[in-house]
Chain A
Amino acid sequence: MGSITLEHVNKSFGEVQVIPDISLDIKDGEFVVFVGPSGCGKSTLLRLIAGLEDTTSGIIKLDGQDVTDAAPAKRGLAMVFQSYALYPHMSVRDNIAFPLKMAKLPPEVIAQKVDYAARTLNLASYLDRRPRALSGGQRQRVAIGRAIVREPKAFLFDEPLSNLDAALRVNMRLEITELHQQLKTTMIYVTHDQVEAMTMADRIVVLNAGNVEQFGSPLDLYKKPANRFVAGFIGSPKMNFVDGPEAAKHNAHSIGVRPEHFKLSTTEGAWKGTVGVAEQLGSDTFLHVQTDGLGLMTIRTDGDQTFKHGDVVYLTPDATRIYKFDAAGKAI
């Protein structure tokens, strides 16, 4: 079991309020991702749940039990750090066995569990190496191994993939998702990469300056962003925003159109513009179009389009997919 509940959690470092007031309800077995820009308090929130920091006020519950004042060791959670935080003086085997030793399990049981974890994570042939002698991906696996042997109530990940190269990141992303399907244990995963968030999460918490902007499934967030911040944060490339008279036509303070929701034409359309940079990815092409009076917009088209710098194009937003926001940025 591993449901996690936050009730009016507040955290200040001295004078600085990092998290004003957060309430969350994470269900048992859920994969929840915290996303948000750098410095918005993702790590802080995770560390509050872990017990590595204490709340200034508010309550944290694990399986309905108040653990606000419990030490990290007593909460039965496992954490995977961005730096992996492996014990450099211990072999891979001893690293993975450490939490079991701390739990005073008998040596046979420890050996058995370590072997099992090593096989699951493809680490069997590295067990006697020191972490120093492993690649980044292998280190990450050891860190995960150390977390899973404890059979924790929930896993906490703090940007575990950010030190890996792009290809490896995609691999590990799949492995972690797979692990979740196997174990069905609650996982909380912090990242600032919205692709990771979209692909891995059951539900996403979008954080901004210590506040929850929206909490919902990836598609919910994509289709029905609660406000301009979420709309801008979820989706890649970013949503295009337009204010002023053009927005007023839709009875909104500002409107947003995703790059993939345009019709593109060389002859006619709603907004006229000139192609600046065209980023060709093969499958897609991203056009950066300087529109007359509405600023720079990013347009996603298929990979066969061959627009050049300086070409004049006309853009027509898909009328059913225009997002409208009021003056406060709330979706209408």
Chain B
Amino acid sequence: MARRVSVQTRIGFTVLAWAVALLLFSPILWTLLTAFKTEAEAIATPPTFFPQNFTLENFEAVQDRSDYIKHAWNSIVVSVGSTLLGLIIAIPAAWSMAFAPSKRTKDILMWMLSTKMMPAVGVLIPIYLIFRDLRLLDTVHGLTLIMTLINLPIIVWMLYTYFKEIPVDILEAARMDGAELWNEIVHVLVPMAVPGIASTLLLNVILAWNEAFWTITLTSGRAGTLTAFISSFSSPQGLFLAKLSAASLLAIAPILLLGWFSQKQLVRGLTFGAVK
């Protein structure tokens, strides 16, 4: 960056940028601070900034009331499980599209993406009834299955864009070296695509973690994920501001950390490689 700017301009831009960024971040910051306040302090007028009587009692209360640990575990199982399952189905498909493309490859990719466009409400009722009849309602594996299906197109697309950057020569070398397809994929393709596969995994875990339609409509008590957990706080009688903040913080903290950690890879992933 060889742009010459005066220090004043730089200070000006810095102040403005920080102001806007903090404004955008303020809801999360507010949640973080309120989670450690007492209920009385949380709704005090005028409001306090830092907690005056720092307390962890909200977190205990939340765990007692709604069993955070159970919901968090469900979230982990569903998001990680569905992503792994998706990868297992998607890796061979992406291999085909990237290394043995046909005239229809592009159409198939577009079609896969278009299934994401189908509004969930359009199929909610049949899925709900099928799940009811198969006794899949409110089960972790039922939810994992749905999550796999809705994220599969994205997983295929992302892997495809990463695979396409791997020189086909190297796979052909493996073939010449006597590797069967299985060995070619396991010993050559996958290790070379580790960064791409990792960012695909991260992004899809995030998407599955935050998915809030199927997780809410298809679960109640047992298989509820954190989205269902937090929705249970939306009814007025459950509302205590500090506890609500503690619950919110618990629900978003794991994925927020994961997201910060992986934000660089995120852009490429989310645009299917269309913006570099």
A and B touch in the complex (CB under 8 A): yes
Chain A contacts to B: CB under 8 angstroms? 50, 52, 71-73, 77-79, 81-83, 85-89, 98-99, 102-103, 146, 150
* Distance, CA A19 to CA B269, complexed state (A): 41
* Distance, CA A78 to CA B173, complexed state (A): 9
User: Counting CB contacts under 8 A, is B26 at the interface?
Assistant: no
User: Counting CB contacts under 8 A, is B133 at the interface?
Assistant: no
Contacts of B169 in A (CB 8 A): 81-83, 85
User: Counting CB contacts under 8 A, is B167 at the interface?
Assistant: yes
Contact A88 B177 (CB under 8 A): no
Interface residue SS majority, chain B: helix
Contact B172 A73 (CB under 8 A): no
Contact A146 B175 (CB under 8 A): no
* Distance, CA A74 to CA B169, complexed state (A): 18
User: Counting CB contacts under 8 A, is B7 at the interface?
Assistant: no
Contact B177 A99 (CB under 8 A): yes
Contacts of A86 in B (CB 8 A): 170, 173
* Distance, CA A231 to CA B119, complexed state (A): 69
Count: A-B pairs, CB below 8 Å: 60
Contact B178 A89 (CB under 8 A): no
Contacts of A52 in B (CB 8 A): 172, 175-176
Contact A102 B176 (CB under 8 A): no
> Do A72 and B176 contact each other (CB < 8 Å), given the known contacts A81-B169, A83-B167, A102-B183?
yes
Contacts of A88 in B (CB 8 A): 170, 192
Contact A73 B191 (CB under 8 A): no
Interface residue SS majority, chain A: loop
Closest to A76 in B: B178
Contacts of A98 in B (CB 8 A): 174, 177, 179, 187
Task: Tell me, rounded to whole Å, the shortest Cβ–Cβ distance linking A83 to chain B.
Answer: 5
Contact B180 A73 (CB under 8 A): yes
Contact A73 B170 (CB under 8 A): no
Contact B176 A50 (CB under 8 A): yes
User: Counting CB contacts under 8 A, is B188 at the interface?
Assistant: yes
Contact B178 A81 (CB under 8 A): no
Contact A85 B170 (CB under 8 A): yes
Contact A81 B173 (CB under 8 A): yes
Contact A79 B192 (CB under 8 A): no
Task: Tell me, rounded to whole Å, the shortest Cβ–Cβ distance linking B193 to chain A.
Answer: 10
* Distance, CA A85 to CA B171, complexed state (A): 8
* Distance, CA A83 to CA B166, complexed state (A): 12
20 residue pairs bridging A and B, Cβ less than 8 Å apart: A52-B172, A52-B175, A71-B175, A72-B172, A73-B177, A79-B173, A79-B176, A82-B169, A85-B170, A85-B173, A87-B170, A87-B188, A88-B192, A98-B179, A99-B178, A102-B177, A102-B178, A102-B180, A102-B183, A146-B173
Contacts of B172 in A (CB 8 A): 52, 72, 79, 81, 85
Contacts of B188 in A (CB 8 A): 87
Task: Tell me, rounded to whole Å, the shortest Cβ–Cβ distance linking B200 to chain A.
Answer: 18
Contact A89 B192 (CB under 8 A): yes
Sort A-B residue pairs by CB-CB distance and give the 3 closest, nearest first. A99-B177, A85-B173, A85-B169
Contact B177 A146 (CB under 8 A): yes
Contacts of B192 in A (CB 8 A): 87-89
Contacts of A71 in B (CB 8 A): 175
Contacts of B191 in A (CB 8 A): 87, 89
Closest to A83 in B: B169
Closest to A89 in B: B191
* Distance, CA A52 to CA B171, complexed state (A): 11
* Distance, CA A77 to CA B173, complexed state (A): 11
Task: Tell me, rounded to whole Å, the shortest Cβ–Cβ distance linking B71 to chain A.
Answer: 38
Contact A150 B177 (CB under 8 A): yes
Contacts of A103 in B (CB 8 A): 178
Closest to B175 in A: A72
Task: Tell me, rounded to whole Å, the shortest Cβ–Cβ distance linking B182 to chain A.
Answer: 11
> Do A77 and B176 contact each other (CB < 8 Å), given the known contacts A83-B167, A85-B170?
yes
Task: Tell me, rounded to whole Å, the shortest Cβ–Cβ distance linking B174 to chain A.
Answer: 7
Contacts of A82 in B (CB 8 A): 169
Contact B167 A150 (CB under 8 A): no
Task: Tell me, rounded to whole Å, the shortest Cβ–Cβ distance linking B116 to chain A.
Answer: 32
Task: Tell me, rounded to whole Å, the shortest Cβ–Cβ distance linking A141 to chain B.
Answer: 15
Closest to B183 in A: A102
* CB under 8 Å from chain A, chain B span 148-187: 167, 169-170, 172-180, 183, 187
Taking each of B174, B178, B179, which has the highest tally of chain A beta carbons within 10 Å of its own beta carbon?
Answer: B178
Contacts of A77 in B (CB 8 A): 176
Contacts of B173 in A (CB 8 A): 79, 81, 85-87, 146
Task: Tell me, rounded to whole Å, the shortest Cβ–Cβ distance linking A78 to chain B.
Answer: 6
Task: Tell me, rounded to whole Å, the shortest Cβ–Cβ distance linking A117 to chain B.
Answer: 14
Closest to B103 in A: A14
Contacts of B178 in A (CB 8 A): 73, 99, 102-103, 150
* Distance, CA A284 to CA B112, complexed state (A): 65
